[in-house]
């Protein structure tokens, strides 16, 4: 009961004291608010990037793996990867015939080239050669026309299925691209379908792409190339077992000696997630470092202001002690005052910081996400700073000698 009275009375006195010293209160809240705003602006942007990346990663498909000559993400060893034996159609057939946990298996060849239509052109377009089951592995769908079939591949037909970026550029709304002739690397291709939109992954558009028959690709994009093998896993729950099975099949097919390491790479979307987490982990560290340093400065400011407040109210403290106020009552009063001013600064800083993150997301490609937990974290953490840095001034006020305090002028 007495603690509740101390809290209610302490809060009333704290509010009155802060109201009587508006400029001091304003400067203190600004100091804390800057720290919280800085911290939460960066966290809002990073959290937004996380949400955006997870959506992008989902577009790659959680049940697909890609066997290639080198890993998608590599730290050095590029010379080793370059000198590996190429993956061939024979290796793909070994996977298709022996992998019991695999569903669709397709060959993939990629290059980048110009695509032209009616005097307009797009540069650095991803050109992929594959077969009819490419849709199953990649997660794409066709929104117009049809996809490649076996006849297209066997006859090396000059047909293409285009991504939405190309369709939007060459064929404005209301224009049907099916049957139109586009030029890829100077060769005429008939558009037979349009792919669904998948967006970007690591700031690279997946929709600036053209899919042509695998055998057509080999005929027009010559040179010794290593294929990539796209594989749909029948059950995503067996991903690890599928990977183990693929390793055994490919080592046998490529004649890799037991004492030698794998001379191929099995790439999965979660490998990109791991790399991304390493990169954003550094951003989180920077955000926390900047925020904590700024909040430390704000906390020191609170401590200094509270020490000044204790000095100015020494006589008041002496009177209250003489009238029976306990040390706990005095400590409660000053701790509440420090916590309140810090929480107000935290609330202001939270909305400023998250608002700033939203503004950044509107004028730049960076995304921002405001999560309810982030708001509570900003206000709560700021209040905790006030509590911690208000303890010493509060203890100093409570330990004043009542007689000496009453003599203070």
Say whether both 257 and 277 belong to one domain: no
Residues with Cβ < 8 Å from 173, sequence gap 6 or more? none
pLDDT at 217: 93
> Is residue 32 within 8 Å of residue 295, measured between CB atoms?
yes
Report d(CA 166, CA 281) in Å as an integer: 35
Residue 141 and residue 245 in one domain: yes
Q: Are residues 177 and 221 in the same domain?
A: yes
Sign of CA dihedral 127, 133, 137, 142: positive
Q: Is 147 left (phi over 0), alpha (psi -120 to 50) or beta?
A: beta
Does 67 reside within a domain?
Answer: no
Would you give the end-to-end CA distance of the chain in angstroms?
A: 34
pLDDT in the model for residue 40: 75
- For the chain of 409 residues, list the mean pLDDT of each consecutive stretch of 10: 54 63 70 76 74 65 82 70 86 93 92 91 92 90 94 94 94 88 92 90 82 92 80 88 92 89 84 69 74 76 76 72 73 76 78 75 65 71 76 75 61
Rounded to whole angstroms, the Cα distance separating 273 from 159 reads 35
Residue 398's SS3 state is: helix
- What local confidence, expressed as pLDDT, does residue 310 receive? 72
- Which has the closest alpha carbon to 71: 314, 333, 286, 269? 269
Q: Are 207 and 43 in contact (CB under 8 A)?
A: no
The residue whose two tokens read 């080592």 is 251
Same domain, 89 and 208: yes
Domain with 142 in it: 85-263
| Per-residue model confidence (pLDDT) at position 211 | 96
User: How many independent structural domains does the chain possess?
Assistant: 2
To which residue do tokens 């998608």 refer? 72
If asked whether residues 327 and 398 sit together in one domain, one would say yes
Residues 253 and 370 in one domain: no
Judgement on whether residues 249 and 387 belong to the same structural domain of the protein = no
What pLDDT shows up at residue 1? 45
Of the three residues 263, 295, 316, the one that is the final residue of a domain is: 263
């Amino acid at each position: 009961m007495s603690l509740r009275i101390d809290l209610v009375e302490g809060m009333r006195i704290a509010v009155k004291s802060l109201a009587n010293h508006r400029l001091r209160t304003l400067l203190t809240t600004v100091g804390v608010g800057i720290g919280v705003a800085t911290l939460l602006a960066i966290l809002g942007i990073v959290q937004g990037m996380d949400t955006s990346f997870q959506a992008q990663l989902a577009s790659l498909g959680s049940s697909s793996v890609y066997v290639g000559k080198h890993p998608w993400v590599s730290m050095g060893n590029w010379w080793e990867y370059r000198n590996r034996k190429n993956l061939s159609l024979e290796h793909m057939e070994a996977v298709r015939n022996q992998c019991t946990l695999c569903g669709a298996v397709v060959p993939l060849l990629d290059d980048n080239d110009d695509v032209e239509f009616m005097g307009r052109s797009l540069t650095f377009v991803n050109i992929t050669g594959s077969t009819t089951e490419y849709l199953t592995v990649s997660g794409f769908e066709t929104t117009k026309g049809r996809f490649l079939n076996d006849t297209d591949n066997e006859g090396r037909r000059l047909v293409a299925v285009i991504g939405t970026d190309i369709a939007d550029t060459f064929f404005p709304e209301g224009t049907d691209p099916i049957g139109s002739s586009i030029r890829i690397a100077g060769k005429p291709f008939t558009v037979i379908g349009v792919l669904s939109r998948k967006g970007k992954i690591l700031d690279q558009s997946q929709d600036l792409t053209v899919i042509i028959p695998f055998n057509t690709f080999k005929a027009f994009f010559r040179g010794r190339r290593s294929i990539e093998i796209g594989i749909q896993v029948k059950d995503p729950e067996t991903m690890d077992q599928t990977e183990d099975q693929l390793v055994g099949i490919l080592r046998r097919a490529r004649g890799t000696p037991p004492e030698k390491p794998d001379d191929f790479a099995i790439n999965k979307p979660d490998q990109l997630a791991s790399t991304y987490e390493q990169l954003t982990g550094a951003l989180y560290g920077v955000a926390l470092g900047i925020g904590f340093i700024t909040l430390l400065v704000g906390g020191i400011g609170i401590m200094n202001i509270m020490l000044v407040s204790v000095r100015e109210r020494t006589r008041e403290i002496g009177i209250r002690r003489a009238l029976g106020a306990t040390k706990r009552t005095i400590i409660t009063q000053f701790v509440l005052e420090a916590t309140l001013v810090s929480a107000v600064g935290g609330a202001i800083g939270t909305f400023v910081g998250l608002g700033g993150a939203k503004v950044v997301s509107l004028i730049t490609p960076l995304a921002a996400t405001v999560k309810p937990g982030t708001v509570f974290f900003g206000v709560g953490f700021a209040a905790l700073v006030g509590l911690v840095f208000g303890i010493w001034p509060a203890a100093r006020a409570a330990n004043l000698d009542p007689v000496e305090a009453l003599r203070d002028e």
